[in-house]
């Protein structure tokens, strides 16, 4: 799998290259600034781009802007955005085109190499990888009125949280140590309670849940 990597700090860039190569990815470009990233994305047509939000020369949200630009030029281009902090605002912008193939994770998530690589693969395959912190913000208690989400059981909330991160039923089942059938049952309950249409397509399902949570909150 061909990867373009953009990260301005040498230590992190080097570490990511090593890790991804160890898991069998091919790093076609490892760049350190916005303009270089623009060029790499245009020239090397990667399967997935792993991009730091903050890049030179502006040291603002250059990386995010590059990623959004590249996805406008090539809709659905898989992009995994990494950052020291996560904002619902940015998640919303990344998800806005409804095309999938989007990841948005805290840099801390690279600590768990297996999970991180799993997220990269998922995004490359057109899926979603949302940071648990984003989901936490979306599910956070809302003081004034009752929402459909408040009618879920604790277990269902747990499943919903994992689903919103972009995990498949199999992965959720493995994490919660239950059968996939049990998860499928939870999922259909959740969709019924939220008033969403059940879809067999994992990715559509995630996007629908995220859209619902973002709208509802």
Partner 1 sequence: MTGGALLGQTFHMDTQTRQDHAPGGARDRAREVLLAAVRGLVLAAVLLPFSLLMLILTVVSVALVPLGVGLFTTPALLGGVRALADLRRGLADEWCGIRVPPAYRHIPASAKPWTRTFAQLRDPQVRRDLVWLPVDATAGFVTALLPAVLVFYPVEGFALAAGLWRPVARTEPYWYGFVPVTGQASALGAGALALVLLLAGARYAPRLLTAHFRLTRAVLAPGAAELTERVRVLTETRRDAVDSSAAELRRIERDLHDGAQARLVAMGMDLGTVEMLLDRDPEQARELLRRARQSSADALEELRDLVQGIHPPVLAERGLGDAVRALALRLPLPVEVSVELPGRAEAPVESAAYFAVSEVLTNAVKHSGAERLTVDLHHAGGALRITVTDDGRGGASVAGGSGLAGVERRLGTFDGVLAVSSPAGGPTLVTMEIPCALS
The residue from 8, 61, 156, 202 that contacts partner 1 (CB under 8 A) is 61
* Distance (Å, whole) CA 176 – CA 129: 18
* Distance (Å, whole) CA 114 – CA 37: 26
**Per-residue binding letters, 72-91, with partner 1 (x by CB under 8 A):** -----------xxx-xxx--
Stretch that binds partner 1, among 11-19, 73-81, 142-150, 164-172 (CB under 8 A): 142-150
Q: Is 164 helix (H, G, I), strand (E, B) or coil?
A: helix
* Binding flag, residue 69, partner 1 (CB under 8 A): no
Q: Between 147 and 193, whose beta carbon lies closer to partner 1?
A: 147
The residue from 51, 53, 163, 209 that contacts partner 1 (CB under 8 A) is 53
* Binding flag, residue 111, partner 1 (CB under 8 A): yes
* Distance (Å, whole) CA 185 – CA 85: 34
Query: Which own/partner contact pairs does 113-117 have at CB distance under 8 Å and 24+ positions apart?
Result: 113/19, 113/23, 116/19, 117/19, 117/20, 117/23
Q: Which of residues 143-202 bind partner 1 (CB under 8 A)?
A: 143-145
């Amino acid at each position: 799998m061909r990867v373009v990597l953009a990260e301005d700090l040498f230590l992190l860039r080097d570490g990511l290259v090593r890790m991804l190569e160890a898991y069998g990815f091919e790093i076609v470009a490892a760049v350190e600034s916005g303009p270089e990233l623009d060029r790499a994305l245009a020239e090397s047509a990667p399967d997935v781009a792993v991009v730091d939000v903050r890049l030179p020369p502006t040291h603002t949200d250059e990386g995010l802007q590059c990623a959004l630009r590249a996805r406008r030029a090539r809709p659905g281009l898989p992009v995994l955005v990494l950052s020291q902090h996560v904002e619902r605002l940015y998640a919303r912008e990344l998800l806005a085109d409804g095309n999938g193939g989007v990841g948005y994770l805290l840099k801390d998530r690279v600590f768990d190499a297996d999970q991180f690589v799993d997220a990269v693969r998922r995004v490359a395959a057109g899926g979603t990888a949302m940071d648990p912190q984003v989901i936490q913000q979306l599910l956070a208690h809302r003081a004034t009125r009752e929402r459909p989400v408040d009618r879920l059981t604790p277990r269902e909330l747990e499943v919903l949280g994992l689903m919103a991160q972009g995990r498949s039923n199999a992965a959720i089942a493995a994490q919660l140590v239950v059968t996939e059938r049990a998860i499928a049952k939870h999922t259909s309950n959740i969709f019924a309670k939220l008033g969403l249409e059940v879809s067999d397509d994992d990715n559509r399902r995630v996007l629908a849940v995220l859209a619902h949570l973002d709208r509802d909150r």
